Amino acid sequence: MSEAPAHRLDLGRRQRLGMIEAIWGEHKSASQIARILEETQAAGELALATRVSEDKAEAVQQDLAGSMDIHWHAQARCLTAGPLPAIDPTRGRVAVLSGGTSDLPVAAEARLALACHGIAAELVLDVGVAGLHRLLQQLPNLEQADVLIACAGMEGALPTVLAGLMPQPVIGVPVSVGYGVSAGGAAALQGMLASCAPGLSVVNIDNGYGAAMAAIRMLALRGAADRGRPSATPRC
Amino acid sequence: MSEAPAHRLDLGRRQRLGMIEAIWGEHKSASQIARILEETQAAGELALATRVSEDKAEAVQQDLAGSMDIHWHAQARCLTAGPLPAIDPTRGRVAVLSGGTSDLPVAAEARLALACHGIAAELVLDVGVAGLHRLLQQLPNLEQADVLIACAGMEGALPTVLAGLMPQPVIGVPVSVGYGVSAGGAAALQGMLASCAPGLSVVNIDNGYGAAMAAIRMLALRGAADRGRPSATPRC
Amino acid sequence: MSEAPAHRLDLGRRQRLGMIEAIWGEHKSASQIARILEETQAAGELALATRVSEDKAEAVQQDLAGSMDIHWHAQARCLTAGPLPAIDPTRGRVAVLSGGTSDLPVAAEARLALACHGIAAELVLDVGVAGLHRLLQQLPNLEQADVLIACAGMEGALPTVLAGLMPQPVIGVPVSVGYGVSAGGAAALQGMLASCAPGLSVVNIDNGYGAAMAAIRMLALRGAADRGRPSATPRC
Amino acid sequence: MSEAPAHRLDLGRRQRLGMIEAIWGEHKSASQIARILEETQAAGELALATRVSEDKAEAVQQDLAGSMDIHWHAQARCLTAGPLPAIDPTRGRVAVLSGGTSDLPVAAEARLALACHGIAAELVLDVGVAGLHRLLQQLPNLEQADVLIACAGMEGALPTVLAGLMPQPVIGVPVSVGYGVSAGGAAALQGMLASCAPGLSVVNIDNGYGAAMAAIRMLALRGAADRGRPSATPRC
Amino acid sequence: MSEAPAHRLDLGRRQRLGMIEAIWGEHKSASQIARILEETQAAGELALATRVSEDKAEAVQQDLAGSMDIHWHAQARCLTAGPLPAIDPTRGRVAVLSGGTSDLPVAAEARLALACHGIAAELVLDVGVAGLHRLLQQLPNLEQADVLIACAGMEGALPTVLAGLMPQPVIGVPVSVGYGVSAGGAAALQGMLASCAPGLSVVNIDNGYGAAMAAIRMLALRGAADRGRPSATPRC
Amino acid sequence: MSEAPAHRLDLGRRQRLGMIEAIWGEHKSASQIARILEETQAAGELALATRVSEDKAEAVQQDLAGSMDIHWHAQARCLTAGPLPAIDPTRGRVAVLSGGTSDLPVAAEARLALACHGIAAELVLDVGVAGLHRLLQQLPNLEQADVLIACAGMEGALPTVLAGLMPQPVIGVPVSVGYGVSAGGAAALQGMLASCAPGLSVVNIDNGYGAAMAAIRMLALRGAADRGRPSATPRC
Amino acid sequence: MSEAPAHRLDLGRRQRLGMIEAIWGEHKSASQIARILEETQAAGELALATRVSEDKAEAVQQDLAGSMDIHWHAQARCLTAGPLPAIDPTRGRVAVLSGGTSDLPVAAEARLALACHGIAAELVLDVGVAGLHRLLQQLPNLEQADVLIACAGMEGALPTVLAGLMPQPVIGVPVSVGYGVSAGGAAALQGMLASCAPGLSVVNIDNGYGAAMAAIRMLALRGAADRGRPSATPRC
Amino acid sequence: MSEAPAHRLDLGRRQRLGMIEAIWGEHKSASQIARILEETQAAGELALATRVSEDKAEAVQQDLAGSMDIHWHAQARCLTAGPLPAIDPTRGRVAVLSGGTSDLPVAAEARLALACHGIAAELVLDVGVAGLHRLLQQLPNLEQADVLIACAGMEGALPTVLAGLMPQPVIGVPVSVGYGVSAGGAAALQGMLASCAPGLSVVNIDNGYGAAMAAIRMLALRGAADRGRPSATPRC
């Protein structure tokens, strides 16, 4: 039997939704990723591959042998191919908070995904609620942000405390850091969904990319009255 | 032993967050709800009590014996005390979609919670993905909304399909309608969190109120450059 | 076949552990509870029955027809038979906190179980972390307590924030209040166990009685150098 | 103690059910697989071993040292021993769809298992519902199939949308691709079982082989009135 | 606020899929069901409402006050409105098996849903595998069926044994009968999905209707070469 | 449509396995139970129906209107029809232990099921491990038993401690008594399965009948060399 | 800080329970196992270590450098130190069945643990219920056994079918073989606990040793009237 | 994009809570740990890093190249940097018990965390309840302790039996040792939470550090009347 062709990209996503499609790297081989990057480049689109280990990133770079401008972002565990756009300060600002040092990869993925769309994001790390003063000291800084992304593992209480203090949209990202009942991030996820703070919304465990895309949808509301949105007419 | 006093309201929430505190009616007695309504009225604040059965609503009304302007909203299973504010069209529009008829109480709770803050919301019912044409026919209408709230039980695929078609913020609300694996809404919740559509965010099962509050946080971004936000300085 | 005799009390528990045995009322009939109360009274011991509904309490009182000094505690949903001991201030003080109004029955059960052993406990209600200022205002008051019992449903973040601020023993009691992922108290339980705050310990969902007994074990450490403990020699 | 003999094949399965027995390779050693292949060959039967890694496949081939016609199918992660039968177009056609590139191994296993029985199957990849136009474009093509097998990970909505559009039998195969709540395929499985689309049936996570066997049972209904079925008289 | 209109029927389902839409009665009020029945009748379509208790059925009948031909099917807990079509023996035969007496409501729902489409179905009850001879005695009878639907609670082993003996399509329906680990049907569901028998497919717990619809999709394959299928061109 | 006949008894079970079939009363109507009792009586067999509430038992007795010798066993929540056999002391002795008073219904069901087969069983109640002396005092008594059945809810530690002290077969029966993590008996079940005591075997939650049948299988080993067993030749 | 001494053996277990203590090898280092073997040998007791990988077994043998008679049993993944006792046919016979080839390690562990106590056990492999004739052919053979141990992964139906056919004690051992819902053995465990066959008892997943110990407890009942049991007087 | 700074220590924890912050080593790289140790040393604080493998410990030591006094504690899998304080016997004594040898790492982590605060702790190993005499022999020794920490995997019954015998505070630590239902420690956790022994409190699975911190909070109650506590005035 012949082997099957392996992918069918959704290159119309930017026009339809105002976002690029991310390549989920975890279950793909270096060769599969390299082929997708070639196709994306041929279409003139920036590529972002998430959840790519250092080894796999090197294999992709070797496979493509310098034919493309590829960068591996160590903290975010992501590959980008093509130049990142310049940051456009008129599109608003995002603050990405994390409870502890171990949440950094997820927070960095969110920041990078925003940068791929030209949006400024600041990392505010190690503000977990077991040492509450660390968060309270950041409040004046956080007032400047349009959207807050809060990444936390363990019991995941950071977004709850944050959403009780600040009026902006808060997106909770549970992180798969912990052990025992918090292993895999399930306790953090449930804690964020069960939150007594009003209007906190949540994405999947470790989904920094998804939180960034949710923020992009929200930021498009800024000055909605006087500026066009990406066309909402579906292409199907 | 003497009985304890039973509640301590968070009446500063409107100033801090731009939202009123909702009274979660399910685990409270009619008498507890009545006392809280009195206190809220004394503070000059509109009150919204969610998850109130018809029987409990009647008991609250009898307890208060006409001393207050109370209305029970049958579809939303909510009580309000005090006049709802006028709808302010400049604050934006929300569309609240539901997959099936049985999701109506949750969708209606979201619409009512928005109305309590003067925000317009339209219900778009029975657009579940098993009959996809029903959703596709609504797309031109949905383009007019600033934020989309999608309520669905069973497998909960509606927000995924929607977020793949439309660029606005999409808030998924799993609904505890179903049986077998979907009983209690867990399958819908997991389906929304696991969604392959970018930037879908999710609230707890049946949490129409929470989805509305998330929408209010987002709508405050409209015209953010030229209009004041509620003060973000916390009161603690 | 003849019916079996139905119970075998552990009346040596006070001598062995310094606590009375509680009668768990939920799965027992009024008649079973009445017979146990008679036996406890015959042994000269105070009786505490937890998780007794108002209807069942009335049936127990009718069954015993005034032969015993019985009191039903509505907030705590408990029955006591026999006079409560006087509060002994030298045994220390406990503060019992709750996140919301709906946690009151569990908090009240803990306070009553402490009162059954002559220990003072103060209820500090509605200090959930979604309105953080309410908790922060109570800190000077909480400094006076020897042990802190924190009851919370929903995401259960109160004990985590508390244990990050205060040095005393903190006992977390998850409460089965909530809906969706927090229904039954599982999210609160996991959040407390996963807490990033150091030295928080936890009891079963709704187990106000157990938290009180844990506090009694701890309070016996006060002045341990100069005062006798209950004998630790087991009776087996 | 002597070691036990290790297997007892079900070589009557073709006569009884019209299918060959598959050798589940994941928990077997290369040596165990090699012995079973020898026995199958001795019985004159085609052998299919599923879930065989590339390393294990090589070890099996070395063990058998060219004594047998063995082929490893990389995409499907399967070994076959003996020539595949010719495709018999009169037995009907199956379309095997997948939501994303990462679902390919499961889809390819289903196609190969069908080919082992002489049945034609077409792969239709990357038609996930987050880019709905990709699926809608395939509908004319899908009309030509007798049975539809839909493989999907993440939220697993593809079979639901498909079964709402097409009248043929739809077999959903959840795929263990994802992270957080979708890790291991549980969210996809529950979503397919909870589907609001009528008449969707489901097999175990990653069970491409099982979906193929279910399709074979269904295809035997074509021309049922005028053609014999495999004998249903059990051999026990 | 005005109340929302409550439903939007999918009346094109028969043309698109060859099936009627079932009304899921469990979470709907008698009044909601009555309104949907009126609308269905006005469209000239047969109506089937599942999971309707006897009390609710009577309330629906009173609401409609004899204006419609309604029948409540006690064993299946279903309402039908309008005359059932005549059984068409050329469309094939289905056997609906059950493990025990308590599975009867689910089996009867499947049989009724088939009857609503003119398809013959025979109930074969109490053939659970703990008394294997009962099933083995039925094998000659079962050979006459085109599709086998096997309903079972507890450990749910019946479909596995059946699919190992018979070559036809077997649809497993887990039943929410049991206690302890089998309460709610989860053990039966997992047992069927995990089955070692090849080609068994499964629907949601208690989903007799869904099994019937899956059977209808399969039966349409009979004589596929010489008879038209319902049009697969979607209407969206 | 005509209603289906509702049951097919396994009356050969005594000959095949040496046990009578129990009628599981929980999901059956009084009328269904009455019909089965009539059929059992006609076959000259003793009948045992488990999990029958007092109300349902009365309805069965009224339905049968004195035509049969029926007894409701309140502690065991069971119905028997026909005279119990005399206890045969040569078949061995069983001790049925329980951790607390609330476990009594399950322990009593086990004792009754043994009595239905002429086997002596003694109840040893309230020997939970929180007051270990109560169990240790019973050890001389327990030495006289051939098989030990240990029923326990909550953490379910009784069978573990018992199996560490005594050499006989120990059958653990988790009981659905508890709250929070022990609600429904899951914690007790897992504790028994995870036991560090060697050779403890376990049945389903609340399955007193099953434990009794397991004991009967074991007791048949007494004097196995010189006494016949029920024939093991299956009847299929 | 000084390191702690690492173990305290239960060498009185043979006298108390008639069994030797097994050393659970999975979480112990080769060095820890070697020290325990030395201590066991010094006490003149046979040692059995379960769940020992081939690598760890070699490390233990090297550590002990020929000072002891050690054997690694590949199929059972166990180490024994000291000579196995001769098989004593008067103690009865056990049959150990398995559903598939992959269950062999667990079945072999049970057989070895029995051999360590001088008890004969026969392996009956590959008799899973998907090819029912394989089991039915073994029934005359199985009639000769006193106790049946049935090991099965996937849906775990083998013990259920077996206990419906045979009157002896049946001990179900779920095996952690499978994928998707059966990964880790949970589906098999639940299926065995939920079994509709009377008197099946169950041990933990993969617990071949535990099943053997349960069988030893049962076999001691053979000829109980005329032969002494190990003393049941506990040593505490 | 520039990389983010990676940590923000909570160096005020000793003043606020009387404890040092532990560095959770599991998800941190050797380089991250080394940087935190440098920062801690610069602040003049003792550092404790938990869950550090031998390989990672060596890498940290190489990174710091002798610039710091670092010790790896093999049994506890922890790193300390800086000299441990002298043991202060006036602060009380803790006994750390374990059920089996495999629980040693968790027990040793608790003992080390106590030693980091100058508190004496004794390990009492291998006192699991399957050989109850081993625990009972230790009771006179345990009477000398102020607080009991009980570590147990499998079914986790040790803390329950202990808390029924002794009056001191008992902290249960579930251990992730086991297989099948006890894999990961979930069964032990649930068993401890569900305990029928009064006043047992619990920390997360494997959380030896957390149990030690809970003990430190409790020990501060000794002589509470006449000695100062760490200041409870929060720093926020």
Model confidence at H236: pLDDT above 60: no
| Record: contact F17-G166, CB cut-off 8 A | yes
Cβ of C217 within 8 Å of Cβ of H193? The answer is: no
pLDDT of residue D65: 84
- What pLDDT was estimated at residue H10? 76
| Residue F119 pLDDT greater than 80, yes or no | yes
Q: Do A191 and C195 touch (CB under 8 A)?
A: no
Q: Are C191 and C162 in contact (CB under 8 A)?
A: no
**In this model, does residue F234 exceed pLDDT 70?**
no
E215 pLDDT more than 80: yes
Q: Per-residue pLDDT tens for D77-134?
A: 999 999 999 999 999 999 999 998 889 999 999 999 999 999 999 999 999 998 899 9
Interface test mutation site (partner C, options H24, H221, H236, max chain C beta carbons within 10 A): H221
E strands, chain F, are 22-24, 47-50, 70-73, 78-81, 93-98, 120-124, 147-152, 170-174, 200-202
Q: What is the pLDDT of residue B236?
A: 40
B50 φ/ψ angles, rounded to the nearest 5 degrees = -100, 165
Which one is predicted more confidently, H3 or B74?
B74
G123 touches chain D (CB under 8 A): yes
Cβ neighbours of G150 in E, within 8 Å: none
pLDDT of residue D184: 94
Q: What is the pLDDT of residue B231?
A: 44
pLDDT in tens, B20-78: 888 999 988 899 899 999 999 898 899 999 999 999 999 999 999 878 889 999 999 99
Sheet with A22-24: strands ordered across: A22-24, A47-50, A78-81, A70-73
Q: Give Dmax over CA atoms of chain C in angstroms.
A: 64
| Helix locations, chain H, DSSP H | 13-17, 30-42, 54-64, 104-115, 133-136, 139-142, 158-165, 186-193, 208-219
Establish if E189 touches chain D: CB-CB under 8 angstroms: yes
> Does residue G205 register a pLDDT over 90?
yes
Contact E109, E211 (CB under 8 A): no
**Closest partner residue to F236 among E123, E133, E177, by Cβ?**
E133
Is the Cβ of A179 closer than 8 Å to some Cβ of chain H? Answer: yes
How close D170 gets to chain B, by Cα (Å)?
A: 13
**pLDDT for res E90:** 93
Q: Which residues in chain A have Cβ-Cβ distances shorter than 8 Å to H233?
A: none
Tell me the per-residue pLDDT of A10-62, one tens digit each, with 9 for 90 and over.
778 888 899 988 899 998 889 989 999 999 988 889 999 999 999 999 999 99
Answer whether E190 sits within 8 Å of G155, measured CB to CB: yes
Res D228: pLDDT = 42
Q: How far is CA E14 from CA A121, B131, E21, E36, E224, in A?
A: 52, 12, 8, 17, 19
Residue pairs between chains B and D whose CB atoms are closer than 8 Å: 115
pLDDT in tens, D7-52: 677 778 888 899 988 899 988 889 989 999 999 989 889 999 999 9
Given a cut of 60, whether residue A232 has pLDDT beyond it is no
What is the per-residue pLDDT for C213?
98
Quote the pLDDT of residue G101.
Answer: 82
Query: Which of A132, A157, A191 is closest, CB to CB, to C165?
Result: A132
Give the minimum alpha-carbon distance from E185 to chain B in angstroms, rounded to a whole number.
7
Question: Do G204 and H183 count as a contact with CB atoms less than 8 A apart?
Answer: no
Tell me, yes or no, if B91 comes closer than 8 A to chain E by beta carbon. Answer: no
F6 has a pLDDT exceeding 60: no
CB contact under 8 A, G146 and F221: yes
Q: Is F24 helix (H, G, I), strand (E, B) or coil?
A: strand
Query: Over the stretch A156-215, which tens digit does the pLDDT of each residue have?
Result: 999 999 999 999 999 999 999 889 999 999 999 999 999 999 999 999 999 999 999 999
Q: Which amino acid is at C213?
A: M
What is the model's pLDDT at position B232?
43
For chain E, say whether D199 makes contact (Cβ under 8 Å). yes
* Residue C196 backbone phi and psi in degrees, to 5: -85, 0
More confident residue, D205 or F4: D205
On average, the pLDDT of chain F sits at: 90
Q: What is the pLDDT of residue C150?
A: 98
Residue among E138, E147, E142, E144 nearest E94 (CA): E147
E185 touching chain B per CB within 8 A: yes
Structure tokens at C174: 């998850």
Which positions in chain A touch B214 (Cβ < 8 Å)?
Answer: 169, 199-201
Q: Is D93 an 8 Å CB contact of chain A?
A: no
- Tell me whether residues B196 and D132 touch, CB distance under 8 A: no
Residue ranges of H 147-166 with Cβ closer than 8 A to chain F: 154-157, 160-161, 163-165
A32 at interface of H, judged by CB pairs closer than 8 A? no
CB pair distance less than 8 Å for D130 and A10: yes
Which is more confident, H223 or E209? E209
Of residues F3, F189, F206, nearest to E75 (C-beta): F3
What chain C residue is nearest to F103 in terms of C-alpha separation?
A: C27
Instruction: Please report the pLDDT score of residue B139 as a whole number.
Output: 96
Task: Name the packing angle between helices F186-193 and F158-165 (round to 10°).
Answer: 20
pLDDT band for position C233 (cuts 50, 70, 90): very low
Q: What is the pLDDT of residues C85-112, one digit of tens each?
A: 999 999 999 999 999 888 999 999 999 9
How far is Cα H21 from Cα H38, in angstroms, rounded to an integer? 14
- Out of F84, F102, F108, name the one closest to residue C4 (CB): F108
Tally A–H CB contacts below 8 A: 67
Q: Is B105 on the interface with A (CB under 8 A)?
A: no
Of F19, F199, F223, the CB nearest to G214: F199
Choose, out of G201, G204, G222, G233, the residue to mutate when testing the contact with F (most F CBs < 10 Å). Answer: G201
pLDDT of residue D4 exceeding 70, the answer is: no
Residue D229 has pLDDT above 60, yes or no: no
Q: pTM of the predicted model, to two decimals? A: 0.94
Query: Contact partners of E by the rule of 3+ C-beta pairs under 8 A?
Result: B, D, F, G
Contact F6 E125 (CB under 8 A): yes
Put simply, whether B133 touches C (Cβ < 8 Å) is no
Q: Which chain A positions have a beta carbon within 8 Å of H236's beta carbon?
A: 132-133, 136
Please check the confidence at residue G152 and state whether its pLDDT lies above 70. yes
Q: Is residue D232 scored above 50 in pLDDT? A: no
Other C-beta atoms lying within 10 Å of the C-beta of residue E89: 10
Mutate to test the interface with G, among H53, H155, H179, H206 (most CBs of G within 10 A): H179
Report the chain B residue with the minimal C-alpha distance to residue A135: B234
pLDDT at res. E1:
62
How many interchain CB pairs under 8 A, A with D? 67
User: What value does the mean pLDDT take over residues H188-213?
Assistant: 96
- Per-residue pLDDT of D190-224, as tens digits, reads 999 999 999 999 999 999 999 999 999 999 999 76
Q: pLDDT per residue over F162-198, tens digit each?
A: 999 999 999 999 999 889 999 999 999 999 999 999 9
For residue C234, what pLDDT is reported? 41
Task: Give the tokens for residue E133.
Answer: 């001879």
Q: What is the pLDDT of residues D8-17, one digit of tens each?
A: 777 788 888 9
CA distance D180 to A77: 17
Per-residue pLDDT band for G225 (boundaries 50, 70, 90) equals low
Q: Which of F135, F151, F160 to mutate to test the interface with H (most CBs of H within 10 A)?
A: F160
Chain B residues within 8 A of D198 when measuring between CB atoms? 130
The answer to whether the CB atoms of F205 and E126 lie below 8 A apart is no
Kindly tell me if the per-residue pLDDT of G61 is higher than 80.
yes
Residue B226 has pLDDT above 80, yes or no: no
Least confident of F30-44, F147-161, F206-220: F30-44
Tell me which chain B residues have a C-beta less than 8 angstroms from the C-beta of A18: 167
Cβ of residue B176 closer than 8 Å to a chain D Cβ: no
G30 has pLDDT over 60: yes
Which residue from H minimizes the CA distance to G204?
A: H180
Tell me the per-residue pLDDT of G154-184, one tens digit each, with 9 for 90 and over: 999 999 999 999 999 999 999 998 899 999 9
Average pLDDT, chain E: 90
Alpha helices (H) along B43-78: 54-64
Subunit contact C8:F125, Cβ cutoff 8 A: yes
Kindly report which listed range (D4-18, D135-149, F67-81) carries the lowest average pLDDT score.
D4-18
Q: Quote the tokens at residue E50.
A: 């599942």
Q: Which of F209, F223, F231 sits opposite G223 (nearest CB)?
A: F223
CB contact under 8 A, H203 and C204: no
pLDDT of residue E68: 85
E140-192 residue pLDDT tens = 999 999 999 999 999 999 999 999 999 999 999 999 988 999 999 999 999 99
Chains in contact with chain H (at least 3 beta-carbon pairs closer than 8 A) = A, C, F, G
pLDDT, position G69 = 87
* Phi–psi pair at E26, nearest 5 degrees: -65, -40
CA distance E177 to chain G (A): 10
Nearest C-alpha in B relative to C77: B3
Closest Cβ opposite residue A214 in set B18, B199, B204 = B199
pLDDT (0 to 100) of residue G92: 96
Q: Is B85 on the interface with E (CB under 8 A)?
A: no
